[in-house]
Structure 1
Amino acid sequence: MFGVLGMLGGGALASHAYSNSRQSIPNSAYGSTLWRNETIEKLFPATVGDTPNYTYEVSDKKVAQWSRMGISQDTSCAKGLSGETKETAEKLGCKAVLRATYVDLTGEMVATVAIVVLPKGTAGQEMGEYLDKQEHADVPDAAVVPFTVPGTLAAKWRENRRNGMGGDALGGDLPYAIAVTTGAVDGRTSGNLPGEFGDYGANDEDRKPWMDAANALSEIFYTNLGNLER
């Protein structure tokens, strides 16, 4: 009997050890440095999409909704963000802004995603609160400077073509905020209906698809950064 119990106990221990080996335990010290240590391909995957129930990685082609057009080599906070968003990030100690431009799979919507690198502490949370307020503002700040990519569908992507913005923040051991701006590939602008056509929230409704897309992209990159922590 003892021998059988010993064998069973050994098997249980082995099973437990194997189970532990399969666990992914976040490394809090790595979180604040992953923006410098991870490859740019992992920070900005070639394609991204929503991950229903976390069944897939955001970069899995099975969920692809956006294709990357290009990645900016300029990581300046001052050149990556604009308006009140830039001022807020700089006050919070912005270290860098990493940007990449994506086009949705219909080829109609363009977006620039910015990963805002902040100091550890409360800066990420404060930036997230600011971005959330902007999403619900009557006239939201455009947030991100578009990154134009010659020779692609994003070749004419400019600041005056921005229609929507969205953002999110991780905070804690991951001192990052995600800010996104969206527009139309063909340059159509929204939210500027003339006279009475713009009354009673019509401008907001016209801008809503762009705002929703920007917010959805910020959530995708929120998930991606969280997955990169180890």
Structure 2
Amino acid sequence: MSFAEPETYGDAPAPARPFFGRPRTRTAAAAACVVLGLGLIGGAATGSWLTGDDTDAPGSRGAFAAAGELWHSVPVDQLFPPSVRGDGAGPGGSDRTWTRIAVAPDTGCAKAFDPLLRKALAPVGCLRLLRATYVDATLSHVTTVGLLFTKADAAAMTALKARFRKEGLDRRTDLMPRTYPAEGTPAEGFGDAQRASWTESVLTDAPVVVFAVSGFADGRTVTAPQPAADAMKPEATTAPAQAGLGHEAQGLADRVERSLRKTVTPATEKPS
């Protein structure tokens, strides 16, 4: 499958796409060398960012730079696993399971964000945008989760995070990320009007913005979308809250972020 063709639900098994942004003709051995080389470049700093080792504090220059390279050196299945378990991620601590139904071609950011969100993110730049869409076990909810790899340094990411927090940019309905629908999947009708809940997280120990947006798989329009932080409150009574769509967005975003942090640990571990 070429990278320009989205991976879709229900199709015959397709050849695994080995790396984002790498030609499919590269061999597995070459890919391994790339990841190993990344580990050597990042050194112990990369390992500390991913594992929490105190020998080099998270957010150090080497770790930060190495994290920004993950978009083209890591298999898609490690960044966006085919199946994601969300133990305790649902309302009331219920368990969730999500299945990946589509992976978007890696792109720029021009069409992935509403205009005001694109403007808010402009100070950190857009190096690459990776997205995937998942469906829950009941085929009732769909969620697009994304990793925006920026061009920014740690100071710029810290400034952006502070601005998001101060101005509440991650809670504004005119600053929602867009969905990634795919034909022939339960997310086929998952467009702008179907967005129900969302979350956005600006990382400061990596040049990455993690986001997710959820909605109903039946394509129904949502007139009052709600940020995940609000939709997850026990007293929330909106349609997104009652359907658990805040939990869907936040649960998937959290687990993709964890996957990002863990993905190259074996390549950076020091021999005993």
Quick one: distance in 2 between partners of 1:190 and 1:130? Answer: 28
After TM superposition, give the deviation of residue 143 of structure 1 in Å.
2.4
Please point out which of 95, 102, 107 is paired with 2:139.
107
Is 2:86 the partner of 1:50? yes
After TM superposition, give the deviation of residue 127 of structure 1 in Å.
4.4
Amino acid at match of 1:210: L
Corresponding residue number in structure 2 for 1:177:
209
3-state SS, counterpart of residue 167 of structure 1: strand
After TM superposition, give the deviation of residue 191 of structure 1 in Å.
4.9
After TM superposition, give the deviation of residue 79 of structure 1 in Å.
1.6
CA contact (8 A) 1:102 1:111 kept: yes
**Unmatched runs of 5 consecutive residues or more in structure 1:** 1-23, 53-62, 194-201
1:149-195 CA-to-partner distances (Å, cap 9, x unmatched) read 111111211111111111223322x21111111110112234549xx
Is 2:111 the partner of 1:79? yes
CA contact (8 A) 1:165 1:182 kept: yes
Quick one: distance in 2 between partners of 1:41 and 1:117? Answer: 17
Is 2:74 the partner of 1:41? no
Q: Name whichever of 205-214 and 115-124 sits farther off.
A: 205-214
Distance change >3 Å, CA 33–CA 149, structure 1 → 2: same
Q: Name whichever of 88-97 and 217-226 sits farther off.
A: 88-97
Structure possessing the higher radius of gyration over alpha carbons: 1
Quick one: distance in 2 between partners of 1:130 and 1:154? Answer: 32
Corresponding residue number in structure 1 for 2:28:
none
Question: TM-score, with normalisation over the residues of structure 1?
Answer: 0.70
Quick one: distance in 2 between partners of 1:105 and 1:128? Answer: 33
Is 2:165 the partner of 1:165? no
CA contact (8 A) 1:115 1:176 kept: yes
3-state SS, counterpart of residue 79 of structure 1: coil
3-state SS, counterpart of residue 105 of structure 2: coil
- Over the aligned positions, Cα root-mean-square deviation in angstroms equals 2.8
After TM superposition, give the deviation of residue 112 of structure 1 in Å.
0.9
Please point out which of 258, 263, 271 is paired with 1:223.
258
After TM superposition, give the deviation of residue 229 of structure 1 in Å.
4.5
1:75-101 CA-to-partner distances (Å, cap 9, x unmatched) read 111122223222112222221211111
CA contact (8 A) 1:75 1:99 kept: no
**Unmatched runs of 5 consecutive residues or more in structure 2:** 1-46, 50-61, 89-94, 226-234, 266-272
3-state SS, counterpart of residue 77 of structure 1: coil
Distance change >3 Å, CA 210–CA 151, structure 1 → 2: same
Corresponding residue number in structure 2 for 1:30:
66
Question: TM-score, with normalisation over the residues of structure 2?
Answer: 0.60
Amino acid at match of 2:132: A
Quick one: distance in 2 between partners of 1:203 and 1:131? Answer: 23
Quick one: distance in 2 between partners of 1:131 and 1:215? Answer: 17
Equivalenced residue count is 186
Corresponding residue number in structure 2 for 1:67:
99
Quick one: distance in 1 between partners of 2:175 and 2:194? Answer: 10
After TM superposition, give the deviation of residue 213 of structure 1 in Å.
2.1
Distance change >3 Å, CA 168–CA 229, structure 1 → 2: farther
Corresponding residue number in structure 2 for 1:123:
156
CA contact (8 A) 1:113 1:218 kept: yes
1:48-99 CA-to-partner distances (Å, cap 9, x unmatched) read 12367xxxxxxxxxx8611111111141111222232221122222212111
Corresponding residue number in structure 2 for 1:17:
none
